[in-house]
Amino acid sequence: MSWRTSSWLAWLLWAMGMLFVALGLYFGLVEAAARPADTIGFNDIGLFLLAAELAILIVGALVAWRRPRNLIGWILLAAMDETMQPENVALWLVREK
C-alpha cells in the first residue's frame, strides 16, 4: 500500500470513529434528557471513557499516518472503530417504537 493510500485510510478510519463518538454523545444526551428528574444523568465514568476513546483515536490516526508500517496505529484505529458501534442508536430506535 502506498503512503498516500495509507494516509487516506488512516484519516478515514479516524473520521468514522469521530462520527461514532459524536453519535454516541448525542444519543447519550438524548437518553439522559428523557430520564425522570430524580435519576442520575451523565456520570463521570462516561466522560472519562469519552476522553479515552478520543485519545486512542487521535494517537492511532497519527501513528498510522506517520508510520504506516507500524501496526500499533492500525490496531488502535480498528479496535476503536470496532468497539464504538453506535449501540445507543439502536437502543434509542427500539425505545421510540
pLDDT, mean of each 10-residue run, the chain (97 residues): 86 87 77 66 65 88 92 87 60 61
The pLDDT, as a whole number, for residue 42 is 54
pLDDT of residue 26: 80
- Owner of C-alpha cell 484505529: 77
- What sign results for the dihedral spanned by CA atoms 5, 6, 10, 16? positive
Per-residue pLDDT at 89 = 58
Burial, 22: exposed, middle or buried (Cβ in 10 Å; 0-12, 13-18, 19+)?
exposed
* H helices, E strands: number in the chain: 4, 0
Contact 73, 60 (CB under 8 A): yes
Cell numbers given for 86: 453506535
